[in-house]
Structure 1
């Protein structure tokens, strides 16, 4: 039983850095041509997010998403 606990601790110690490396809280920015970039050095303000939402509504992107992807059909 003691060796099983030791084995679990060793495996957890080896796996923890890999799991933490795979996760990132950095936001991802999608450019106009569809490529993604990490935006770890730039944070969006509420005003910028609101401006992007208004722009997406005016462009018809929101209506398109609602009728295709989010239609629930």
Structure 2
């Protein structure tokens, strides 16, 4: 089937195998790249939400301090 200069099982099979690995490897890298982008976007979104929560905590502390000063 893969006769390459008389080395049917070794070189031909290896070339065919590496060709398949290259073709499918590109697709897998693309999929994992998209997954990595999705993960990075989610991390960025979580960091943004944490900043909002920190800001709200600061506002709550300021309000509590004002209440204590009024008393």
Give the TM-score normalised by structure 2.
Answer: 0.39
Report 1 or 2 for greater relative contact order, CA contacts < 8 Å, sequence distance ≥ 6: 1
Give the TM-score normalised by structure 1.
Answer: 0.38
More helix per residue: 2
